[in-house]
Amino acid sequence: MRGFYDPNEFSYLAPIINAKDLIVEELNACRNQDMFLDFLADFKGNDAVEKVVGTWVTSQMYYRKAGSHKIHTPTWPDRNIKKKWIKYLRLAPNIFPTTFNILKSVDEVYWAGMSKIQANSEIKPHKHKFKVPTLTFQICLSPSAGNCTLTLNNEKVEWGDIGQMMLFDGRLEHELINDSPDSRTIMHMEIDPTGHPDYKW
């Protein structure tokens, strides 16, 4: 099973890739800390072992509401966090209009949001479980100044530059370690890779 992909191999991602600088600028200018929520509960069902050491938070901005496109259901630690998650999902088209319209133009995007791993934090080795064919597409919004490494099937990739892209199959075991003194923030998207010759579902 192939781990990493080049986003340019997927022609339908061109609107996102071509507008990458605008997206990064808008997300960095308009996001706020209140949007980022604690979703540690997402990991507790995998193998009953806590997966996050330190702090990892996330925010959703886009969701395509069509049948099988509901690839997973978030797990919220409490009702207040769920209400805040829904609030910002509804406000996203007004907060991030350029980004939202670009995402809406790409039918193959299931979900999109942002996530942040704080300094000296890690997400231990884990695998994603999806209901439909899915790859995870990420764009760096604010890289850490030190070592922030994604390891997937023993292949390591460093997050180093704003606008850096990464596309991978999250069904393979992977981990993220941020050993730097700074947090690292990304935009994340889950996309339908159906039709790519190397993708096996």
Cα–Cα distance for residue pair 52/49, rounded to 1 Å: 9
Q: Which residues of the chain have pLDDT under 70?
A: 39-50, 67-70, 73
Angle between helices 79-95 and 97-104 (to 10 degrees): 90
What does the pLDDT read at residue 48? 40
> What is the per-residue pLDDT across 84-130, written as a single tens digit (0 to 9) for each?
999 999 999 999 999 999 999 999 999 999 999 999 999 999 988 88
The per-residue pLDDT for 82 is 87
Contact (CB, 8 A) for 144 and 182? yes
Q: In this predicted structure, what is the pLDDT of residue 144?
A: 77
pLDDT of residue 76: 76
**Cβ–Cβ < 8 Å for 83, 74:** no
